[in-house]
Structure 1
Amino acid sequence: MKPWILGLTGGIGSGKSAAASHFGSLGVHLVDADQAARWVVEPGRPALTHIVDRFGEQILQGDGALDRAALRTRIFQAPEERQWLEQLLHPLIREEIRNVLDEARSPYAILVSPLLVESAAQRQMSQRVLVVDVPEQVQIERTVQRDQVPEEQVRAILQAQASREERLRHAHDVLVNDRDLAWLQREVERLHEFYLSLQGGQS
């Protein structure tokens, strides 16, 4: 029987990666949308050739890999370039995610994506949505500590992501991650037991 798909999301610094990794250690098959986005532009993949054709060789690093910072700078200045890039990459990322999910042998599989709420296509792939949620101040403190970046930068990222309210509106389940890692892992184990009892992700 094909596994049903749980979409796992949360804002920056919410702990969604820690939650995902604990689900993984329980034997749940995971696919990470961010990783899929990186795979599709690796050297030798057709997408990278298209990007170089469009933006020129200066978009590459010395080793032939994509220079993400240079590309970000280019597309932030020109909305039409960003649109072009999204039209090129989004179908490829979707296909990559599908391929990885098709390999799943666990009763349910997880699509981990920071943009699950913003991306209708990714949301449609999921039968159920779990949001890892924390108060905004906690998100900011954790991210500043983890990435050693200024608070303003974290606030700017928060502004660009879906609002907490918007994410919670799409949630079937919410894991409030405002305690320690041991507590988060116990919550994941509790949800895992519940998810194993579900048919097709619906309770």
Structure 2
Amino acid sequence: MSKPLQIGITGGIGSGKTLVCKIFACLGIPVYDADSHAKELMTTDGNLVSQIKKEFGDLSYLSDGTLNRKYLGEVVFSNQEKLDVLNKLVHPCVAQDYACWVESHSDKAYVLKEAALLFESGSYRGLDKIIVVHAPQDVRVKRVVHRDGRTEEQVKEIMQKQMSEEEKLQRADAIIYNDDSSLIIPQVLSLHNRFQAKK
């Protein structure tokens, strides 16, 4: 059974990778949103749930079984060690879930895996190509402040925890510029044609 090309797509907060993924989805390309799947698995995978409770306590979940995001966020956000522990529990589950998902789309020329921390988590390994969605920092800060209602300081703090834009761009196989001066759709169509031709 032939496997589709596996394309990773990433970009710093506010770069517009979700918008780019929506355009690919409109072209009929399946998109695996790793961050959403991770959140889902943290409440639906019984084994993972018990590991999280064991590591971070029962307060990690609310009485209705949903994740206590506020509590867990406070525990891991300022503690790199605890964040690493959480990632080591979650990432293997996501990797397994993603592998099954890829198999279910074996009829496609290519699929996309969207993840904010594609490089940082190591999940870029095993992918055929990486697209980085790029926008200048000042543009990204404005977008996130407007979208999430965070302060500029909060947005910059998140950015500092992510890999630098320069390093992401160096590692990219393809770059989509979302800087308000380049049209996105022609860039997506060009990559779409390129990946379709590879099959």
CA deviation vs aligned residue, 1:37-57 (integer Å, no higher than 9, x gap)? 112211452211222233332
Q: For 2:73 and 2:91, how far apart are their aligned partners in 1?
A: 16
1:107 matched to 2:102? The reply is: no
Contact 1:43 1:64 in 2 (8 A): no
Structure 2 match to 1:198 = 198
Contact 1:41 1:48 in 2 (8 A): yes
Contact 2:43 2:65 in 1 (8 A): no
Gaps of 5+ in 2: none
1:178 Cα offset (Å): 1.4
Taking a change above 3 Å as real, the CA distance of residues 77 and 194 of structure 1, as seen in their structure-2 partners, is closer
Structure 1 match to 2:49 = 48
Q: TM-score, with normalisation over the residues of structure 1?
A: 0.89
1:127 matched to 2:124? The reply is: no
The 5-angstrom pairing of residues 14-53 of structure 1 reads: 14-43=15-44, 45-53=46-54
Gaps of 5+ in 1: none
Q: For 2:42 and 2:23, how far apart are their aligned partners in 1?
A: 28
Q: For 2:66 and 2:95, how far apart are their aligned partners in 1?
A: 21
Q: Across the two proteins, how many residue pairs are aligned to each other?
A: 197
Q: For 1:132 and 1:79, how far apart are their aligned partners in 2?
A: 26
Which range is displaced more, 88-97 or 54-63?
54-63
Taking a change above 3 Å as real, the CA distance of residues 176 and 100 of structure 1, as seen in their structure-2 partners, is same
SS of the aligned residue for 1:38 comes to helix
Q: For 2:78 and 2:150, how far apart are their aligned partners in 1?
A: 23
RMSD (CA atoms):
1.9
Whichever residue aligns with residue 165 of structure 2, its letter is: R
Which range is displaced more, 78-87 or 148-157?
78-87
